[in-house]
Amino acid sequence: MNDNNKLGELYPAHLEMVRRRADKALEKSGFDQLVIFSGSERFKLFDDAPYPFFANPQFKAWLPLTEHPDCFVIYRGGDKPKLIYFQPEGYWYAPPEPPGGYWAEHFDITVINEAAKALPLLPDSGRVALLGEFADEKMRPANGEVNPGELVNYLDFHRAWKSAYEIECMRRANAIAARAHRAAEQAFRSGASELEIHLAYCQSAGQPDNELPYSSIVALNEHGAVLHYQNWSSSRYANGALHSFLIDAGASFNGYAADVTRTYSASDSGFSELIERMDRAQKHLCALLKPGVSYPDVHFAAHRAVAKILSEMGFVKIDPEASFDAGITRTFFPHGVGHYIGLQVHDVGGFMADEDGALQAKPDGHPFLRLTRELDDGHVMTIEPGLYFIDSLLASLAASEHAKHIDWDRVEAYRKFGGVRIEDDVAVTVNGSENLTRGALDKLAA
């Protein structure tokens, strides 16, 4: 079976799942129809150049059109969904291809060549829910309520459960990312700059910056201590001055994201041991995932794993449980252990306690955790423990009552490495989980 045939076989069940959710959301919120807008191009201030276009995730949930502004999906419960497909004429830019592929037969499609021609085709009576961003008032339908909370809450809560089609798309996104991560490591080993590594990554992925699901973090040496390091320096390090490399970079497939992080040492040093310990800890955390597990418990397990590493490698001089209880691990591991992933890198619904929009609070002292729900079959999330040497956080620890528990000379020796983070995308299954990232990497190594 070729790749498109597999997607074609999985897609009908996915669309049926999306339609069932829409039916329930319409019934629950009292709306008659959904009108889902892909979005419009937005232009830079005082300029005629557009920003990169990113399709509305609610639109991408229905069909794999990710580069198509000014399109609409129209859905009335029980009916075949309609697609208004904008295919402009002209020669300044390449127009979209005619609609086609495994998904097209499942929609009644109307092609228009001017964006404004969509508006007369939209529902003009009844109670209509409009999903999307209508930054261009000319593209806002006259009839409808924009992003009604009750309906959006229902859809966001249930988007945690991914179809087999969606998980297959994420497998393929991870396969692209795995290939590109290998190219990035090779560039690092050759002494390339951050910018050169980033370009090698994009070339191997076959995706430019604006097609990647987020801006890649490409951090050499102490830059690895900046959690969302945003620069790509063009400077190379001299011989002996290159110590470490942390890359957090993903890929996209049919609008679905991969989010992968790896860390490397330039030499066989103590930092190599730190990476190996974190890799083992990360694999253990992934093995904890199964239906019924509370994600905050996985987060606390990650902190206990970090506490153990800090103790075993001599950074902290008290036992791991005491280090965890004292909050010392939060200096070295200040972010959450992961988040939902899917149509968005930080997919929606991570804090939702129910489909009505009630929230499930983050644990005290852990403000950056992005997921507080109980896991279930079909949920997909990242697992990304880390250990960093962040100047500002270390300064706060040094000024605290716990400073006496730290071997500051050892910490100082590791500042030049920045930090370590290992991140995989993992799908929860009926009996456990499937590691999408390591599965992709294993296939490359085979």
Instruction: Say whether pLDDT at 123 is over 50.
Output: yes
346-385: per-residue pLDDT in tens? Answer: 999 999 999 999 999 999 999 999 999 999 999 999 999 9
Instruction: Say whether pLDDT at 107 is over 80.
Output: yes
* Ranges of CATH 3.90.230.10 domains, the chain: 164-445
Angstrom distance (rounded) from CA 444 to CA 287: 22
Reported as half-sphere exposure (CB side, CA atoms, 13 A), residue 57 has a value of: 17
Average pLDDT over residues 325-343: 98
Binned at pLDDT 50, 70 and 90, residue 182 comes out as very high
Q: Determine whether 240 is exposed, middle or buried from the number of CB atoms within 10 Å of its CB (0-12, 13-18, 19+).
A: exposed
Q: Which residues of 341-369 are buried (b: 16+ CB within 10 A; e: fewer)?
A: bbbbbbbbbbebeebeeeebebeeebeeb
Q: When comparing pLDDT for 162 and 2, which is higher?
A: 162
Please report, as a single letter, which amino acid is at residue 246: L
Question: What would the CATH number be for the domain defined by 3-158?
Answer: 3.40.350.10
Radius of gyration in angstroms for the set of CA atoms belonging to the chain, rounded to a whole number:
24
The percentage of residues in the chain with a pLDDT greater than 70, rounded to a whole number, is 99
Residue that the structure tokens 């691990």 belong to: 329
Angstrom distance (rounded) from CA 389 to CA 315: 11
41-88: per-residue pLDDT in tens? Answer: 999 999 999 999 999 999 999 999 999 999 999 999 999 999 999 999
377-393: per-residue pLDDT in tens? Answer: 999 999 999 999 999 99
* Ranges of CATH 3.40.350.10 domains, the chain: 3-158
Per-residue confidence (pLDDT) for residue 1, from 0 to 100 = 47
Bridge partners (DSSP) listed for residue 177: none
Average pLDDT over residues 244-260: 98
Instruction: Say whether pLDDT at 418 is over 80.
Output: yes
Instruction: Say whether pLDDT at 306 is over 70.
Output: yes
Average pLDDT over residues 189-197: 98
Instruction: Say whether pLDDT at 446 is over 90.
Output: no
Instruction: Say whether pLDDT at 19 is over 80.
Output: yes
**Angle between helices 3-29 and 149-158 in degrees, nearest 10:** 140
Average pLDDT of the chain? 97
Average pLDDT over residues 182-199: 98
CATH superfamily label, 164-445: Creatinase/methionine aminopeptidase superfamily (3.90.230.10)
Per-residue confidence (pLDDT) for residue 2, from 0 to 100 = 58
Per-residue confidence (pLDDT) for residue 394, from 0 to 100 = 98
Neighbours of 14 (CB within 10 A): 22
Instruction: Say whether pLDDT at 191 is over 50.
Output: yes
- Report field, pTM of the whole predicted structure over 0.85: yes
Per-residue confidence (pLDDT) for residue 4, from 0 to 100 = 76
* Residues sharing a CB contact under 8 Å with residue 132, sequence separation 6 or more, in sequence order: 36, 37, 38, 39, 56, 58, 59, 146, 147
